[in-house]
Amino acid sequence: MFIDSHCHINFPELAARMPEILAKMADNKVTHALCVSVDLPDFPQVLALAHEYPHIYASVGVHPDYEDTPEPSVEQLVELSNDPKIIAIGETGLDYFRLQGDLEWQRERFRTHIKASRITRKPLIIHTRSASEDTIRIMREEGAGTEAGGVAGVMHCFTESLEVARAAIDLGFYISFSGIVTFKSAKDLQAVALEVPLERILIETDSPYLAPMPHRGKMNEPGFVAHVGEYIAKLKGIPVEQVAEQTSANFFKLFNVVA
Ligand SMILES: [Zn+2]
Ligand SMILES: [Zn+2]
């Protein structure tokens, strides 16, 4: 069994094909998926999916790339996450690649999510792009991670260096690899994946984006997470069943989900 730890199946291009998407998950032994919230207006749809399907879970959060969207307060995130199917806070984090200029609002929004995670004890889903130094700094300042009495989380769609991975792992975090790790050009990332212990790895699609090989360029979907698991098994020279079992166990442990 595989688990897609990060997808956006509420996005219209995927939501419109739900029966097909669920069938493809079953075909590829993808047993669960976490549908990740990106803003407050879309959150009701994310929650509705999690309520409709027992093996779909959800998070609540506002993505760092969404500039013109209602800003969440700590209290709001805490209140919205008060549902057994909401297992995480996010996605949150910093993105200095997609947006430039004065991004103090992005850092403030990130701090808000970490505070909500500490109150709710629900793990963080962190997006970081071209901003790893500030990301790790703010995680430490706000007490994200198990060391500081907070809860851990996942560095999703990881594309940073081994040093950043280690800093996050030291805070109790997991590292999630997407289809990017299967790309021929991703040699540096493959070297990182080789070093990260399997006990700290999650796998994801981030669908509808970033389809793994051999579907690169097509619309991605949770069933394709099996290709990410297969690739990591090949990279590490271990059986694919071991990757499937361990990454699924990691998911259940991190998000406190009883399968
Ligand atoms: Zn992301
Ligand atoms: Zn995402």
Output the pLDDT for position 36: 98
Q: How many CA atoms lie within 13 A of 251 on its CB side?
A: 27
- 100's CB contacts (< 8 A; 6+ apart) are none
Q: How remote is the CA of residue 91 from the centroid of ligand 1, in Å?
A: 7
The ligand minimizing its distance to the Cα of 92 is 1
The ligand minimizing its distance to the Cα of 128 is 1
Q: How remote is the CA of residue 21 from the centroid of ligand 1, in Å?
A: 21
- 1: burial class by Cβ within 10 Å (0-12, 13-18, 19+)? middle
Q: How remote is the CA of residue 155 from the centroid of ligand 2, in Å?
A: 11
Q: How remote is the CA of residue 38 from the centroid of ligand 1, in Å?
A: 9
pLDDT in tens, the chain (259 residues): 999 999 999 999 999 999 999 999 999 999 999 999 999 999 999 999 999 999 999 999 999 999 999 999 999 999 999 999 999 999 999 999 999 999 999 999 999 999 999 999 999 999 999 999 999 999 999 999 998 888 999 999 999 999 999 999 999 999 999 999 999 999 999 999 999 999 999 999 999 998 888 888 899 999 999 999 999 999 999 999 999 999 999 999 999 998 7
Residue in the structure block whose two tokens are 């688990």: 3
Q: Which of 125, 199, 123 is nearest to 158 (CA)?
A: 125
Q: How remote is the CA of residue 148 from the centroid of ligand 1, in Å?
A: 24
Angstrom distance (rounded) from CA 34 to CA 25: 13
Output the pLDDT for position 18: 96
Angstrom distance (rounded) from CA 205 to CA 96: 22
Q: How remote is the CA of residue 237 from the centroid of ligand 2, in Å?
A: 28
Q: Which of 63, 1, 21, 6 is nearest to 255 (CA)?
A: 6
Q: Which of 185, 132, 181 is nearest to 157 (CA)?
A: 181
Output the pLDDT for position 148: 84
Output the pLDDT for position 150: 86
Q: How remote is the CA of residue 95 from the centroid of ligand 2, in Å?
A: 12
Output the pLDDT for position 194: 98
- 95: burial class by Cβ within 10 Å (0-12, 13-18, 19+)? middle
Angstrom distance (rounded) from CA 49 to CA 7: 12
